[in-house]
Chains A and B, each alone.
Chain A
Amino acid sequence: MLNISKFKSLLAFIATSLIVLVAGPAGAKVEGDTIVLGSAISFTGKYSTNGIHASNGYNLAVKKINEAGGVTVGGKKYKLKIQYYDDESTPARTAQLLERLIKQDGVKYMLGPYSSATTKAAAPVTEKYKIPMVEAEGASRSLFSQGYQYMFAVLSTSEQYLASSIALAAELAEKNGRKPQDLKVAMVFENDPFSLDVRAGVADDVSKYGMKTVIDDKMPRDLSDISATLTKVKALKPDVLVVSGHSKGAATAARQIKEMKIQVPIIAITHCEAAKIIAKFGSATEGILCPTQWSETLSYSDSLFGKAKDYDTLFKKEYSGYKNVPYQSAQASAAVQVWKDAFERANSFDTDKLREALAATDLETFYGRIKFSPEGNNVAKPMVLRQIQNGKLNVVAPSKWASHPVVFPRKVSY
Chain B
Amino acid sequence: MLDNIMVLVQAPLVPLQLLLDGIFIGAIFILIAYGLALVWGVMNVKNLAQGDFVIMGGYIAWVISNPKYMGAWAVHPILGLPVAMVFMFGFGWVIYFLIIKRVVYRDMFTSLLATFGLAIVIAQLLNQMFGPEVQVANSGYPTWTWGLLSVAAIKVVAFALTVILAAMVVIFMRYSRMGQAIRATAQDARAAKVMGIDTEHVYAFTYALNAAICGAAGVLISMIWVIQPFFGLPYSLRAFVVVTAAGLGNLPGIITYGLGLGVVEQFGGFILGAQFQQAIVVMVLVLVLIVRQIQQNRYRQAVV
Using CB atoms and an 8 Å cutoff, list the residues of chain A in contact with chain B: 45-49, 188, 191, 216-220, 222-229, 231-232, 234-236, 247-248, 250-252, 255, 258-261, 274-276, 280-281, 414
Contact = CB atoms under 8 A, between A and B. Distances in A.
A231 B21 contact: yes
A49 B133 contact: yes
B216 to A, nearest CB: 18
B115 interface: no
Contacts of B267: 228
Contacts of A229: 269-270, 273-274
Interface in B247-304: 265-270, 273-275, 277-278
A223 B278 contact: yes
Interface string B135-152: 010100001010010101
A353 to B, nearest CB: 40
A46 B127 contact: yes
B277 A223 contact: yes
Given A47-B132, A228-B265, 10 more contacts: A45-B132, A49-B133, A217-B273, A222-B231, A228-B18, A228-B268, A235-B14, A236-B7, A247-B133, A259-B154
B132 to A, nearest CB: 5
Interface stretch (B38-46, B77-85, B222-230): B222-230
Contacts, number: 112
Contact of B143 (A225, A236, A260, A280): A260
Contacts of B234: 222-224
Contacts of B233: 222
Nearest to B150: A260
Contact of A220 (B17, B143, B277): B277
A280 B139 CA distance: 11
A218 B269 contact: no
Contacts of A259: 143, 150, 152, 154
Contacts of B150: 234, 259-261
B270 A228 contact: yes
Contacts of A218: 273-275
A223 B274 contact: yes
B132 A235 contact: no
Is the interface on chain B under 10, 10 to 19, 20 to 34, or 35 or more residues?
Answer: 35 or more
B226 A252 contact: yes
A227 B277 CA distance: 11
A275 B134 CA distance: 7
A188 B148 contact: no
Contacts of A414: 143
B180 interface: no
A219 B11 contact: no
A301 to B, nearest CB: 32
Given A229-B269, A247-B133, A251-B134, A220 B226 contact: no
> Which of A47, A218, A219, A235 has the most chain B CB atoms inside 10 A of its CB?
A235
B274 A235 contact: no
B61 interface: no
A46 B226 contact: no
B187 interface: no
B117 interface: no
A224 B222 CA distance: 11
B211 interface: no
Given A49-B133, A236-B7, A251 B273 contact: no
20 contacts: A46-B127, A46-B132, A46-B230, A47-B132, A218-B274, A219-B274, A219-B275, A220-B274, A220-B275, A222-B278, A224-B231, A226-B274, A227-B21, A228-B267, A234-B148, A248-B134, A255-B225, A259-B143, A259-B150, A259-B152
A255 B269 contact: no
Contacts of A274: 133
A232 B7 contact: yes
B132 A251 contact: no
A255 B226 contact: yes
A224 B226 contact: yes
A369 to B, nearest CB: 32
A222 B231 CA distance: 7
Given A251-B134, A255-B225, A235 B273 contact: no
